[in-house]
Structure 1
């Protein structure tokens, strides 16, 4: 699932390392930095990876 999240198309690039993506109806914020990778859902702020 982690690779699936990072492979999703970018809806909005917020900063060079933060992007907004969508998994079905779930909006996600993805952090893709050389030192850390993370994603969390905006609905309830669930940490996904």
Structure 2
């Protein structure tokens, strides 16, 4: 498999880490973490800021 590496912004990396933490804590559900993930996703999706 030929995978291309890409550079992530700090917010993109933070989103990925938060999602991984959320998925690994399925038995200890956190509404706050889910809210944080959704807010960060919305920020990345709609903000013009590239950071």
TM-score normalised according to structure 1 size: 0.30
| Larger RCO of the pair (alpha carbons < 8 Å, separation 6+) | 2
Higher share in strand? 1
More helix per residue: 1 or 2?
A: 2
Larger Rg: 2
